[in-house]
Amino acid sequence: MNRRYYMGALLAGTAMSSYAMSAFRLKKDQMKNGLGRSSFNEGWRFRLGAAEGAEASAYGDSDWRALDLPHDWAIEGPFDVKYNARCGGLPFHGTGWYRKTFDVPAEAKGNVVSVTFDGAMYNAHVWVNGHFLGSRPYGYSEFQYDLSDHLNYGGANVIAVKLSPEDLSSRWYPGAGIYRNVWLDVRNPVHVAQWGTYVTTPVVSAAQAAVRVETTLVGDGAVEYEIFDPKGRTVAVGADPLLFVEKPKLWDIDSPHLYVLRTTVRVESEVVDQVETRFGIRTLEFLKSGFKLNGRPVRIQGVCLHHDNGPLGAAIYRRADERKLQIMKQMGVNSVRTSHNPPSNELLDLCDELGILVQDEAFDVWLKPKVENGYNKFFAEWGERDIKDMVRRDRNHPSVFMWSIGNEILEQGNAENGNRMAKQLNDYVKAVDSTRPTTCGFNWWPGPYENGMASQIDIAGMNYKPLAYGAPVNEFLPSNPVVGSETSSCTSSRGVYHLPIEKYKTHESKQVTSYDLIGPPWAYPPDVEFDALEKNPEILGEYIWTGFDYLGEPTPYGGKDNSTNGYWNADWPARSSYFGAVDLCGFPKDRFYLYQSQWTQEPMVHVLPHWNWEGAGHETIPVYAYTNCEEVELFVNGKSFGRKVKGKDLTKLLVKFNRYEGDTFMSKYRLSWDVPYSPGSLKVIGYIAGKAVAEKEITTAGVPAKVRLLPDRKKIDADGTDLSYVTVRIEDANGNFCPLADNTVQFKVEGAGTIAAVGNGNAATTAPFIADHRDAFSGLCMLIVKAGKAGGKIEINAASEGLEADQTVLTVR
């Protein structure tokens, strides 16, 4: 089944909104002539717990907590063993209330006033002035209510939101509260409907792109269109929904060019609505032989990502997602799978801007439950609407290039129900958008392939089945493309190395060695997937599990995946993921560099482990190098231990996973030496064509002597949400990094910002994220600083007993 999809994509717009065409920075908080969209995030009150009658306007909420949205009440903790470690060990379930008093000007009467929630976790019930507007159970769905008929124009109004997340409703940390943005729209009665702009490009060439626009109006009006190029110049104008762009600049991974479409609605020549939206022109081809973007073969180098941002929880911060994606791109990532739910608008905006392809995923379950109170309770009533709303909302993003209808759904083993439901969901998607293929993550073999379920979608997603690539899967799917939709599941703890190297299930330390070979029964080192993809070039590529660590699912500790009603507290305080190539704070683990060595071209070399082994009882240390160079030479204290050739000199890995025969794997993707330990310098040099092009050196550190602060950005915006991530590093007197340091660091932040959160990447600690101190873990911890809403300076001081303190200053502009 060779499929070609030619389309250009738009970001669904809002009335009278404005987008910065050159910088591509979304500006949703603008109104013109009293019409348009404004942020509805400020000035809310919150109460955790039952509040009888809180939906009524007259209810007294003066003693409730005042806050701004987005807000995740659960990330504040405390961690407690009475909560499920599978979901992060945090209090995400219960009842929470939000209320906001707001004025609507008298002149707004006669227009359409609506409120939009980008997401509320979960089972949201909404009232305005005591009138019940409706409910939305799925915490990842965007939803909108028309307030017009229930408002006091020229006076005060009260909106109330009740959320009731349940225990055992998720397999990971979902967060809690109104954790995504909220918007207020004031629109003319004749306007473009929500998600009412849909654009495709049926023909694309170097000379010209045909841009077709479908507009859904509320009411009757005349529509006009204008297209601006990435520099803001008008390139097409007309009332015909088919426009042409000459010599289009294509949206691509390395050059994510974005155009802007302005849709103007007139009634009797008067402008009553105007929508400006971004879009990208590109072509997609999905062939049995591979994937092509704009006619160019592209191998998917993807990661699965959960929606939380570690110490910040589930609350959306644009900068947090931006940083996450930037770190992934440094690893060589070109695609993200939004496991296992619709992502935030902000993440998709950023993928549009950064040139990252997105597999947009709808569900983790259908009707059969994985946990007692999961989405399966709502699927029969809400499944069709939720998946169609996801596609309507996201279908105009150039970054979105395939739709996933589910993940490891338990209907895989039922030929009748599984086939019927897969076809039904596929048809729901195609009814809304036919320009992209559908996929689904299958983890059973050969069930869904043998019973025909995998044939109901366009691309078969194979979870952890590298041994079935090629002939085995082709027997069932001779023409359908295949992608490794979830791969490896290797686990590790940043900076932790257990010797001797062993293939154990768990370790008493509640940590996992960073030699990158430990995983659950279905899992395998990245090298196995590299090898399988190399031998089967027709596979579209892979999505590793996972790019970042995430809250919850502390595999290999605590429990078994997909266990209905399972609590994962047997290995408390292990309470978050070990799967990431990057830890919960964004610090790269060694595996980050293993993927970088396969996915990037800029010469690099990485060496592990650390070089502080005095008194550890190990005379010989296994040393690994990850590189994209041809050769690597290892030096210890200036003495060469010889060069090794990538692809020729193999490293024996201890490997054992489901359906794998044997207990070792000879990897050509790592170079290794066994080195007698001697304190001092461990250095590697990478060579290409005999020339040194990259090097890395690790030095044995002395005792911790000082704290060093390293902000990722020293200038941030005074918007109340912008962030600076400050790396806190423990060093010896000579400035050498101390890889074993666990000193407690105390923070003092003054001026135009506050502490948003702290962390250290340790998956097995109950230390709070909302605090003014943090222990270092493997020599590092993190301070996240949030800007206020006024310009000025932020002074940061970091101190630790017995160590030299450090200071830095940020500018808020």
Q: State whether residue 719 is helix, strand or coil.
A: coil
Q: State whether residue 449 is helix, strand or coil.
A: helix
Beta strands in 155-207 (DSSP E): 155-163, 182-187, 191-204
Tell me, what amino acid is at 619?
Answer: E
CB 593 within 8 A of CB 602: no
Q: What are phi and psi of 659, to 5 degrees?
A: 70, 10
Alpha-carbon gap, residue 696 to 173, rounded angstroms: 37
Alpha-carbon gap, residue 580 to 592, rounded angstroms: 9
408 in active site: yes
Alpha-carbon gap, residue 437 to 421, rounded angstroms: 17
Q: Are strands 357-361 and 400-407 parallel, antiparallel or unpaired?
A: parallel
Under DSSP, the state recorded for 428 is H
Does residue 773 have a cis bond before it (omega within 30 degrees)?
A: no
Identify the active-site residue in 285, 346, 408, 411: 408
CB 275 within 8 A of CB 11: no
Q: In Å, how far are 21, 176, 258, 279 from 230, measured between CA atoms?
A: 6, 38, 5, 10
Question: Tokens at residue 157, please?
Answer: 């109004």
Which residues are within 8 A (CB) of 434 and not within 5 positions of it... i.e. 6 or more apart? none
Identify the active-site residue in 361, 411, 486, 633: 486
Identify any residues that bridge with 36 across adjacent strands, giving them in sequence order: 31, 186
Beta strands in 290-340 (DSSP E): 290-293, 296-297, 300-304, 335-337
Per-residue HEC secondary structure of 230-257 comes to: CCCCEEEEECCCEEEEECCCEECCCCEC
CB 236 within 8 A of CB 225: yes
Tell me, what amino acid is at 367?
Answer: L
Rounded to a whole number of angstroms, the distance between the first and last alpha carbons of the chain is: 53
Beta strands in 362-475 (DSSP E): 400-407, 438-442, 459-463
- DSSP string covering 768-809, please? -SSSSEEE-BTTEEEEEEEE-SS-EEEEEEEE-TTSB-EEEE
486 in active site: yes
What is the CA 778 to chain-centroid distance, rounded? 25
- DSSP string covering 524-563, please? --HHHHHHHHHH-TTS-EEEES-SB--BS--TTSS--TT-
Q: What are phi and psi of 303, to 5 degrees?
A: -130, 145
- Count Cβ atoms within 10 A of the Cβ of residue 189 and give its class: 0-12 exposed, 13-18 middle, 19 or more buried: middle
Alpha-carbon gap, residue 610 to 606, rounded angstroms: 11
Q: Are strands 806-812 and 715-716 parallel, antiparallel or unpaired?
A: parallel
- Count Cβ atoms within 10 A of the Cβ of residue 170 and give its class: 0-12 exposed, 13-18 middle, 19 or more buried: buried
What is the set of active-site residues? Answer: 408, 486
